[in-house]
Amino acid sequence: MSDKMDVLRRDYVHDDLSAVTAAAGVTGTVVVQAQQTIAETEWLLSLAEGSKLIRGVVGWVPLIDAKVEASLEEIARLPKLKAVRHVLHDEADDRYMLREDFNRGIACLKRFDLRYDLLIFERHLPQTIEFVDQHPHQIFILDHIAKPRIHEQVMEPWRSNLRELARRENVYCKISGMVTEADWHSWSEAQLWPYMETVLSTFGAERLMFGSDWPVLNLASDYGAWIEVVKRAVDRLSPHERQQIMAKTAIEAYGL
C-alpha cells in the first residue's frame, strides 16, 4: 500500500463491520478475501461461523495447485464458504486466467457449489470473456464493474467489452469499487452516472448486486455515503428491481 492509503493501515475486524452495517441498516453481508492465503480464508470462515451478520465468505484457494481439489474438499465443508477469488489484476501476466492449471482449478468449483469472483481491470475484459466461455456452467461474479477508468472519464472499450461479457447469463456484477477508480477527493455522482447507467442497462436488476468494497472504500468515501449513492442511482427503478439489486441478487447468486 502507498502512503496515500494510511486509512487502511490498521486492522478492520467484526466490530467495525457491525458498526458500519448497523448504521446503514444492513443485516447481512458477504466478506471477501484480501490475502491470498488459506489461513486468511479459514479466519474469515471462523468469524462467519459465529456471526448472524456474515452470511457468506469469498475465500482463496491455490487454484493452480495440482492438489487444489483436496484443498477444496477440506475447506468447502464449512457451510459459509460461497465462492473463491484470485487477485487477477495484480498478476504480471494479463492472461493469467487463461493458464491451463488455473482453469483446471476453476473446473473443480462447481462440484463444491462454489462461485468465482472476478477481480480485474477493464483491460482484462477481452480475455475474461474467453475465460468465462470455457466454463459455461460456472457462476461468475464480476467485482467493481471491472474497474473502468472513471478518473479519466473514459467509457470505451470498457462499455463495449462489458456488454459482450454480460451476454453470458452465468455472469453477475457488483456495483462497487467505483469511487476508488475516480478521484478520491473530488468525485461526484454525475461522474459516476454514465458507468452506473451502463451496468444497470447491461446486466439488469436480476444480475446486479450492491457491493460496498469496505474498508477499501474508505479511501474515497464511507459505507453509509456509498450505500446512499447506490440507492439514489436505482431510485428510478421499480420496488422489485431495487430490492433485487440491494439484496436478492446477492442471495440468489451466492446461494445464501
Query: How far apart are the C-alpha atoms of 155 and 144, rounded to whole Å?
Result: 15
Is residue 235 classed as helix, strand or coil in its secondary structure?
coil
Which has the minimum average pLDDT: 1-10, 132-141, 156-165? 1-10
Residues 76-91: what's their mean pLDDT?
96
The H or E element spanning position 193 is helix 189-203
Query: pTM of the predicted model, to two decimals?
Result: 0.96
Supply the pLDDT for residue 5. 85
Supply the pLDDT for residue 114. 98
Supply the pLDDT for residue 2. 75
DSSP strand E in the chain: where? 29-32, 54-59, 81-86, 115-118, 140-142, 171-175, 208-210
| Grid cell digits, residue 123 | 483491460
Mean pLDDT score of the chain, rounded to an integer?
96
Residues 2-6: what's their mean pLDDT?
80
What CATH number has the domain spanning 82-254?
A: 3.20.20.140
Confidence of residue 6 (pLDDT cuts 50, 70, 90): confident
Supply the pLDDT for residue 156. 98
Supply the pLDDT for residue 206. 98
* Nearest alpha-carbon partner for 33 in 57, 10, 15, 17: 57
With 0-12 / 13-18 / 19 or more C-beta atoms within 10 angstroms meaning exposed / middle / buried, residue 136 is exposed
Residues 37-51: what's their mean pLDDT?
95
Is residue 98 classed as helix, strand or coil in its secondary structure?
helix
Domain ranges across the chain: 82-254
* Nearest alpha-carbon partner for 64 in 103, 92, 36: 103
Q: Strands across the sheet with 81-86, in order?
A: 29-32, 54-59, 81-86, 115-118, 140-142, 171-175, 208-210
